[in-house]
Each structure stands twice: as C-alpha cells, then as structure tokens.
Amino acid sequence: MIRAFVALDLPEPVRQRLVLLQHLLPLPRRVPPENLHLTLAFLGEITEPVAEEVHHALAALRAPAFALTLRGVGIFGGGRARSVHAGVAAEPALAHLARKVETAARRAGAAPEARRFVPHVTLARLKPGDADPQRLEAAVAAEQGFAAGPFAVTAFALCRSFLGESQAHYRELARYPLA
C-alpha cells in the first residue's frame, strides 16, 4: 500500500520564512524544512494500481496557475492543541484546484479525506502535555502579522508518505504543471 497525498511545494524563500516563524514559537518538535508543504488532498493508503489511476487522472487535470500568500498562524485542536500551522490567505483558485484534485482522485478509485478543505502549512505536531498551552497561544497571537508571498503556484505534486518513528518522510512521485 502507498500512503499518498497531493500537495503544493513551497518556494525556498517562503520555506525560510516558515522556518523563522517556527523559531519564534515555543514548539518542541518542528516539522523539518524539507517537509513543509500545503496538502490539497489526503488520499490515505491506496494500492499501487489505484495510485497509477490517480496519477493518470492528475496528469489529465487542467487548472490555472495562481498566486498565493501565507498569512497568520493558527492552532488546530482547540483546548487540546494538536498542531500549529501557518494560514493561507483566501484564494478561490486554490479551493478550485483542491476540489478538482479531490474529484479526480475519487474517480480514479481513491477515497480522499472528505473534511472541509482548510488550507494550511503545518509547522509542528504536538503531543499531549507537550507545550504550555497558554504560552503557545500567546506566542501564536503575537505572530498574527506573519505573511509570506505572494508566490506563484505553477505545479502540484502526488506525494508518498513514509511514517517514521519521530518524523514522517515524504517522496514526490510525480509533478503536474498548472496552465
């Protein structure tokens, strides 16, 4: 089985800004720079033939390139913080692409996660008792002015995830240009 997801890669300057942001927050375990990405659709465990079908469907997908800006910082999990992320400024072309990717993956036989698409770049995943919640919330509030970009999004990628002991490791399987 292949643990797969579809994501946007980030330009190096944006990655560097995110690394800086990570260091401004009290995060015990940061996502390593090379792992920073924006997930469009999480496909979960799929067979090799389904991955092959998904690949063909994504290669046939037509969508326009667009500009994206990262903005703000947030925490998922409410009172029990699970992860910290950089936010994304509203961009209809991004939501459009995510919807097209989800539809293509579903038609190809995958069962993409159906939760509402909330674009974000995960900066750290937390474990219970990891962080002092008040200190984390205060630091996140203090960094709301964070913004990076706009940067051009000219491609998206099918990625494979290998879950590790501490950090997952990702491999890009294929990349698809946007018009």
Which positions are annotated as active-site residues? 37, 120
Which residue has the closest beta carbon to ligand ATP? 161
Strand 169-177 with 121-125, pairing? unpaired
* Comparison of 22 and 122: residue with beta carbon closer to ligand ATP: 122
Under 8 Å between Cβ of 120 and 38: yes
Secondary structure (3-state) at 164: coil
Q: Could you give the CA distance from residue 41 to residue 119 in angstroms, rounded to a whole number? A: 10
Task: Label residue 126 exposed, middle or buried (CB < 10 Å: 0-12, 13-18, 19+).
Answer: buried
**Cβ at position 179, least distance to ligand ATP in Å:** 25
| Minimum distance from residue 70 beta carbon to ligand ATP (Å) | 15
The runs of H, that is alpha helices, within the chain are 12-23, 48-60, 92-107, 133-142
What letter does residue 108 receive in the DSSP assignment?
T
Pick between residue 29 and residue 107 the one whose CB is nearest to ligand ATP. Answer: 29
Residues whose CB is less than 8 angstroms from the CB of residue 3 and which lie 6 or more positions away in sequence, other chains included? 44, 45, 160, 161, 162, 163
- Binding residues for ligand ATP, rule: CB under 6 A, are 3, 5, 39, 42, 113, 115, 122, 125, 161, 163, 168
Nearer to ligand ATP among residue 84 and residue 142 (C-beta): 84
- Report the alpha-carbon distance of residue 66 to residue 153 in Å, rounded: 5
